Amino acid sequence: MKLSKVYSNRRDVFGPITLSAGLNAVIAEIRKPENRDKDTHNLGKTTLARLLDFLLLAQRNKKQFLFKHFSQFEDFIFFLELELGQDQYLTVRRSVSKASKVSFKYHTERHQDFVSLEENLWDHSCVTFEKARNILDSALNLLDLTPWSYRQITGYLLRTQNDYTDVFQLQKFKGKHETWKPFLAKVLGFESNVITEQYKIEKRIEEFEKSLETVRSEIGGLNLDSGKIEGLLQLKQRESEKKESLLSEFDFREEDAKLAEVIISDYDRELADLSTRRYYLNQSKIKIEDSIKENSILFDTDEAEILFHEAGILFKDQIKKDFDQLIEFNKAITEERKSYLKEDLEEINSELIIIKDEITKLSAERMKHLSFLKEVDVFEKYKSISKDLVKIKADIETLERQRISLKRLQDIRSDLRSIKGTLDEAQEKIESNVDRVNSDLNSVFSKVRGYFSDIVEKVLSRKALLSVSVNQQGHVEFLAEILDDDGNSTSADLGHTYKKLLCVAFDLAVLRVHLGGGFPTWLYHDGLFESLDNRKKENLLEVIREYSELGIQIIVTAIDSDLPARRPEGPPIFERSEIVLTLHDEDYSGRLFRMPSW
């Protein structure tokens, strides 16, 4: 499967681009000096890739240039001619205004123009979008991608500047390993079905764990087990049966006797205990209050000095000072003691308040049950027991719901243990498969790894390693890195330029290994030579030519200043036949779409 031609119904704005089966170059010439130092020039190198993606039936996206600037493109109809095999071609027609309707035409000659073809002559006319994808997938017959469709590989075939940040995980796959890791494993010759199953199992485990949390919340967060719930249920059911029996017999003697026993044995005892406690607390309170009042010092040194003088006794200053100090010391002790007494008094007052409330509550309960005993109207007793029975029934229903929830909890835990065992088995299979494929020199992955390393070495004169391993979580990990002379990993692959080269090497190596199978045989690399030094550009161009001669269609885009420097009297960088499109910045005619920039 290769790209043969792309054109539109508006030839005055977008002219036809015919592509060869080998190397195709889209060159942007910067002719205005003031534009040479700009990072972007908006001539259409990247836009062409996005247009091809649209014609390969990408989902409609409001950020895509055709829909972001809908008013400028709504009357466009685009056509893409695909080469399916020798003398087998398929043209895809898709309009901007009706992007969800697609038409197909099979033909045996290349570079056709079906702009004016009548609707009834298309083999599939204006089919729905999903059906169109199925038709295209069937026509391409890319068996090496089964069970995935051609759309899964398209992102790797159409590399724009935003697609060089990671060799394996494209921007559209960020954060969704299950959407690309199994597929990439398939492409590299690993057992992808086990990896797919692994992610499905992990998703089920996540769902089970969410269900566990839901059931726990239904139970109410109580730490209950089945034995305790069954015991509580039996007690409540027996109590319910007794209440029902009382109501059915209309005999309340047993209930009267039970209430009398409760009143005499419990309420009176508790009230007596509380009253006794209140008495002792009140006595302590009186003593503390008296102590606080009595703690005052009556001796005054000034009065004592006058008294001694009148008696003719000498009361020296030192004696007075000693007495003053003694008085201050006693005052300090007294104040400290008072603070402790006040704290005790506060505690006593707090407890007295609590006791008072409890006595009031118990007295009310006591009066309630006494009124039940003294109640003459039997219907009031009937109503009271009925209320109790309703509450007991509600408790039974709650316990039964908890019993059901607990059973569900146990079942989910059992299923969770079982599925975690299945996950362990899947991870063991993945580890075994990765080890086997890594050690098999004739495996698809070993061949891809070899070509990948060769490409990087030819361009950079450095070793590179492509590896697949299993991490601690049991997931496959893909790694591409540049090595130093001793075979150790370096940080060189972290730079954008080298990262781009690793992407290119990976794409070429994968296509080469799958040549002759049910696999695409074309690549689109945007800004291929950017940021490389001249010698590396020449090396990369050699590799590109080598792989195009093997049968891989390669479309490269570049600004003229990024191309390898042409040597004096040497051949041109690209043959005239290889340059399929030349863009420039002089006026509208040099843009992919010959119209003002949007």
Q: pLDDT over 90 for what percent of the chain? A: 48
Phi and psi based region of residue 88 (left: phi greater than 0; alpha: psi -120 to 50; beta: remaining): beta
Q: Give CA–CA dist 353/356, Å, rounded.
A: 5
Q: CB–CB of 538/578 below 8 Å?
A: no
283 vs 476, higher pLDDT: 476
* C-alpha span between 13 and 95 (Å, rounded): 15
pTM for this model (two decimals): 0.70
Q: Is a pLDDT exceeding 60 seen at residue 336?
A: yes
The whole-number average pLDDT for the span 395-407 is 74
Q: Please give the average per-residue pLDDT across 265-270, as a whole number.
A: 74
Q: pLDDT (tens digit, 9 = 90+) per residue, 487-546?
A: 787 766 667 888 999 999 999 999 999 998 899 999 999 998 988 889 999 999 999 999
Q: How many CB atoms neighbour CB 142 within 10 A?
A: 20
Contacts 24+ apart (CB under 8 A), 357-365: 358/274, 359/271, 359/274, 359/275, 359/278, 362/267, 362/270, 362/271, 362/274, 363/271, 365/267
Mean pLDDT of the residues in the chain:
85
pLDDT, tens only, 294-320: 655 555 666 666 766 666 655 556 665
Q: Tell me the two tokens of residue 381.
A: 């007793």
Sequence-ordered alpha helix ranges (H) in 151-299? 151-157, 181-187, 192-219, 226-249, 253-262, 268-294
pLDDT digits (tens, 9 = 90+) for 60-92: 999 899 999 999 999 999 999 999 998 999 999
Predicted local confidence at residue 515, as pLDDT: 94
Check pLDDT > 60 for residue 378. no
What radius of gyration, in Å, describes the C-alpha atoms of the chain? 46
